[in-house]
Amino acid sequence: MQMFLISDNIDTLTGMRLAGIPGVLIHEDFELRQTLDKILQKKEIGIVLITEKLAKLLPDYIKDIKLNHRVPLIVEIPDRHGTGRTPDSITGYVREAIGLKI
Amino acid of residue 92: G
Cis peptide before 22 (omega within 30 of 0): no
Q: What is the CATH number of the domain that holds 38?
A: 3.40.50.10580
pTM of the entire predicted model: 0.75
76 by DSSP, 3-state: which?
strand
Alpha helices in 19-86 (DSSP H): 29-41, 52-55, 59-68
Please write the tens of the pLDDT for every residue from 79-91.
666 565 566 666 7
Residues 83, 4: Cα–Cα separation, whole Å? 22
pLDDT band at 78 (very low <50, low <70, confident <90, very high): confident
Please write the tens of the pLDDT for every residue from 6-62.
999 898 899 889 989 999 999 998 999 999 999 999 989 999 999 988 888 999 999
pLDDT score recorded for residue 97? 66
Residues 72/45, Cβ–Cβ less than 8 Å: yes
Boundaries of domain holding 79 = 2-98
pLDDT score recorded for residue 6? 94
- Give how many domains the chain has, as a whole number: 1
63 has pLDDT over 80: yes
